[in-house]
Structure 1
Amino acid sequence: MVTMSPIATVIIFILMLLLVLLSLAYFTYSILLKTRPADRKKPVLPPGSMGWPYIGETFQLYSKNPNTFFALKQKRYGSIFKTHILGCPCVMVSSPEAAKFVLVTRAHLFKPTFPASKERMLGRQAIFFQQGDYHARLRRLVLRAFMPSAIRRTVADIEAVAVRTLRAWDGRRINTFQEMKTYAFNVALLSIFGKDEIEHIEELKECYYRLEKGYNSMPINLPGTLFHKAMKARKELERIVSKILASRRKKLVEFNDLLGSFMEAKEALTDEQITDNIIGVIFAARDTTASVLTWIVKYLGENPSVLQAVTEEQEEIMRSKEIDGDKYLNWDDTKLMPMTSRVIQETMRVASILSFTFREAVEDVNFEGYLIPKGWKVLPLFRNIHHSPDNFPEPEKFDPSRFERSPKANTFMPFGNGTHSCPGNELAKLEMLVLLHHLTTRYRWSLSGSEAGIQFGPFALPLNGLPISFSLKT
């Protein structure tokens, strides 16, 4: 029998203990490896429902108040959720932080996108569909024509359009939205072409009306379809713009309107690029501004105290101009309209004409532990943000006084946010202020009684375009 010294026994005991500890360490490491944090935190798709194949949840979105659709989704899934609309898998985000992530801080990961048929109709080289240097160049050109230093010279011309528009309504029952579309269209054409292209404007209008009818049609380019007629109208628009460009080049003079900005030789835009962007600007400037003005008329009619406050503010401006012997509005006058400006802001918040905007992920993106796959559409939900009680107490209440203080950052985005925010927002606000000055000081209107409903297509509007009876004050 072999006996070991006490020292050897201790050494063997220590070695066995080390072996046991190493075995335990390896076993623990193996378990941790299978459940390591990197795996546990691997991004997953946001929660949500994708609806029916291809159709998805498009009908649910467009058949009800978008407030209801988005609110139900947000309540069930949280501030980020997936869905499937307009034939596309989508991730919708409804927090100010997420909207800023998509539109500002990580905007390079999300490209602007529209359905392909809309790009064909408006023009693939229009500013909406661009990124990078070309987008930056277009944005600079549009801003140069629409910045305050440029549009302050147009106040008198816009006022003339507003006065003619309102005078034509006197004693009539009108469809407010349709009439506001005409007003916004005329201001847009004035801003693009100035006052010197009268001979082409009526022809251009007629072509655009035909194009507009096919905008929300099925993209079937066969003779007799609305889409086919719209694409034919677009070709005619190209021809008209080419005639205007040729005429201007012969005159060898500088123009201060948007077309003049696009035509600068050093910018070297092609005729096709100019045409695409002119059609795009008309599209962007018309329906959205007209929708806001329609809602303003409705909210003022429903809130007599607010209407009275706006009227008193505008009458004070009118009296001061009579004392000075000045009959026309100027840029400085529009800076004396804080109450009217708050009404515009609150209308844009409550109505939220643009419920959301489309972006597309250019690569897989990880946001707060959720995967946004490459190629998926991403929709920042402006409407949800504008109607969140965390951002605006009693959000369904029309209360312009809430804009006596600046809203919290990234909670009010009526013109979008980031490099793709609307470059024509100053012009839009100016044409609203000018119209509201004459509307409230010289006219009265009454709602029809059927204005309680809302219709969608694609913008939210009062039912039937808000029919009103309109007359000159006596």
Structure 2
Amino acid sequence: MAFNFILVIAITLIIAFFLSKFLFKGKTKNLPKGSLGYPLIGETFSFLRAQKQDRGPEWLEERTSKHGPVFKTSLMGSPTVVVVGQAGNKFVLGAEDDVLAAKQPVTLVAIAGKQNIFELTGSRYRLVKGAMVSFLKPESLQNYIKQMDELTKTMLLRETENKDTIKTVVTMKKLTFNIASSILFGIKDEHTKEVLFDDFSLAFKAVWSLPVNFPGTVYWRGLRARSRIVSRILPILKERREEISKGTLSATSNVFSCLLALRDENEQPISDDLILDNYVTLMVASHDTSAILLSLMIWKLSTDPEIYKKVLEEQMDILRKRVEGAEDRLTWAEIQKMKYTWRVAQELMRIIPPVFGSFRKALKDTEYGGYDIPKGWQVFWVSHGTHMNKEIFEKPTEFDPSRFENPSKPIPPYAYIPFGGGLHTCIGNEFARVEVLPTIHNLVTMFEWSQVYPDEIITRQPMPYPSMGLPIKIKPRKL
């Protein structure tokens, strides 16, 4: 019986392979060089394995050295054209939505939802993006600096209470999830946040997995986690909608209220499904990428005494210059003074970008670099091709925050892209900054720490993290 099942699977894969060859034959004149890999699976396993070992750049270089900066492969169940370099970044990130749309892999669509902002186009995209931007712009975020400072202090004290060692990655994920839940969505209940945190952890792992919905798989667990998230958020949406109608909640209080107050071109409210999909998307985008950056910054400060000394000096100087009798809370003006600390973050994102690359989908036949890209294929851009290019960044392998202070030559567009670029610049880039800086401020001014494993390496899963979770020995700073 088992042999028959394996035989059926093998025959199906072989038929699918030859059928795909037949279907694509003749439809395009000049596909890029490269390999589509195994039937259905493509090169997904080798790509994910390279990511886990933080060998993504080597995986790319093996193929670009053989095929050039444009090559074909198959990733996450879809044929894919990979473009490497500044021109490729500009082609993808600057393309109009009717040519290349932010159609993500099936795994991300399943977890985030079909109406997440990356999938929307036209008027619906502009409507949802406008609501989010109205809350995420600097003028709005500066009103939440004191609250963010207080949340960060409280979380750090709670997570370090009666402990001399903490796991940095887990702590930073909890902290950023708490901040995003409280400030972006106004979710205050601690139990609700804890349960949602556990489910989001499962859901995020499923985003970069094979779309095999079989009991026990990562993808299966992620889908079930998303269902639980939706069930828990629906009553909150109902409650917020009632508060808005009664006038007890402002339409600008948080992202939920902004979305609930939206009206489409027919003056109809947008659906709960659309709000839920964008809640899941924004939570994944807002808390996990910031947790990565914070973990990497703590790792860097642990291993580089000179960088640590300069960051500590800048943050202590902010405390020293506070007017006597002033409230013991960070202000927007103080955040703007953290210039060196942010340059350290910028340099970390150059050398170890939180997002290795991102997918878009061809909505019609197009071409790039003299090659055809068929309608329906994915296009994948990567940050490595420009971030480590010595013609763009002098001595690119050296860690040098000053390159963002007064660069000898301006960084060209689409070359430094930790937050995307052009039409597709991340709308949460300012939120990331004002989330990271208060956390680092409180951490270095309140505590001293050292790594448990000084030789700990970075791995991608799929985001870059210290491989052992970065346990640190931590103690209160003596002022």
| TM-score using structure 2 length | 0.84
Q: Is 2:175 the partner of 1:178?
A: no
1:93 is matched with which residue?
83
Deviation digits for residues 369-420 of structure 1, max 9, x if unmatched? 1111221111111122211112112222211111113522211111112333
2:416 is matched with which residue?
412
C-alpha separation between the residues in 2 aligned to 1:140 and 1:202? 30
1:273 is matched with which residue?
274
2:37 is matched with which residue?
51
Q: Which amino acid aligns with 1:332?
A: A
C-alpha separation between the residues in 2 aligned to 1:431 and 1:451? 28
Q: 1:258 aligns with which of 246, 255, 265?
A: 255
Deviation digits for residues 326-369 of structure 1, max 9, x if unmatched? 31101111111110110111111111111111011111212231
Q: Which amino acid aligns with 1:184?
A: T
C-alpha separation between the residues in 2 aligned to 1:46 and 1:428? 37
2:341 is matched with which residue?
340
C-alpha separation between the residues in 2 aligned to 1:291 and 1:71? 24
Structure 1 residues 210 and 71: alpha-carbon distance in aligned structure 2, compared to 1, 3 A threshold = closer
SS of residue paired to 2:118: helix
1:16 is matched with which residue?
none
Check conservation: 1:299, 1:398, Cα contact below 8 A. Answer: no
Deviation digits for residues 298-317 of structure 1, max 9, x if unmatched? 11222211111111111111
Structure 1 residues 225 and 96: alpha-carbon distance in aligned structure 2, compared to 1, 3 A threshold = closer
Structure with larger Rg: 1
C-alpha separation between the residues in 2 aligned to 1:124 and 1:51? 28
C-alpha separation between the residues in 2 aligned to 1:265 and 1:88? 35
Check conservation: 2:292, 2:354, Cα contact below 8 A. Answer: yes
1:131 is matched with which residue?
121
Deviates more, 1:224-233 or 1:394-403: 224-233
Q: Within 5 Å, which residues of 2 pair with 1:200-239?
A: 200-209=192-201, 211-212=203-204, 214-216=206-208, 218-221=210-213, 227-239=219-231
Check conservation: 2:315, 2:338, Cα contact below 8 A. Answer: yes
1:326 is matched with which residue?
327
1:293 is matched with which residue?
294
Q: Is 2:74 the partner of 1:78?
A: no
2:473 is matched with which residue?
469
Q: Is 2:414 the partner of 1:381?
A: no
Q: Which amino acid aligns with 2:233?
A: V
Deviation digits for residues 232-284 of structure 1, max 9, x if unmatched? 43333223322112222333231421111101153521111111111111111
How far does residue 220 in structure 1 lie from its aligned partner after superposition? 4.4
Task: Give the share of equivalent positions with the same residue, in percent.
Answer: 30
Q: Within 5 Å, which residues of 2 pair with 1:151-166?
A: 151-166=141-156
Structure 1 residues 279 and 95: alpha-carbon distance in aligned structure 2, compared to 1, 3 A threshold = same
Counting matched residue pairs gives 433
Structure 1 residues 114 and 58: alpha-carbon distance in aligned structure 2, compared to 1, 3 A threshold = same
Q: Is 2:418 the partner of 1:428?
A: no
SS of residue paired to 1:465: coil
How far does residue 116 in structure 1 lie from its aligned partner after superposition? 2.2
2:316 is matched with which residue?
315
C-alpha separation between the residues in 1 aligned to 2:196 and 2:418? 29
Query: Which structure's residues are more often helix, by fraction?
Result: 1
C-alpha separation between the residues in 2 aligned to 1:224 and 1:412? 39
How far does residue 195 in structure 1 lie from its aligned partner after superposition? 5.9
C-alpha separation between the residues in 2 aligned to 1:240 and 1:287? 20
C-alpha separation between the residues in 2 aligned to 1:225 and 1:53? 20
Structure 1 residues 132 and 442: alpha-carbon distance in aligned structure 2, compared to 1, 3 A threshold = same
SS of residue paired to 1:248: helix
Q: Is 2:103 the partner of 1:113?
A: yes
C-alpha separation between the residues in 2 aligned to 1:455 and 1:189? 27
C-alpha separation between the residues in 1 aligned to 2:314 and 2:254? 31
Q: Is 2:145 the partner of 1:169?
A: no
Unaligned runs of 5+ in 1: 1-41
1:191 is matched with which residue?
183
How far does residue 322 in structure 1 lie from its aligned partner after superposition? 5.1
Deviation digits for residues 193-213 of structure 1, max 9, x if unmatched? 226666754454454345446
SS of residue paired to 1:158: helix
Check conservation: 1:113, 1:358, Cα contact below 8 A. Answer: yes
Deviation digits for residues 22-52 of structure 1, max 9, x if unmatched? xxxxxxxxxxxxxxxxxxxx96222233333
How far does residue 436 in structure 1 lie from its aligned partner after superposition? 0.9
1:61 is matched with which residue?
47
C-alpha separation between the residues in 2 aligned to 1:303 and 1:206? 33
Check conservation: 1:292, 1:351, Cα contact below 8 A. Answer: no
Structure 1 residues 354 and 440: alpha-carbon distance in aligned structure 2, compared to 1, 3 A threshold = same
| TM-score using structure 1 length | 0.85
Q: Is 2:133 the partner of 1:143?
A: yes
C-alpha separation between the residues in 1 aligned to 2:418 and 2:402? 17
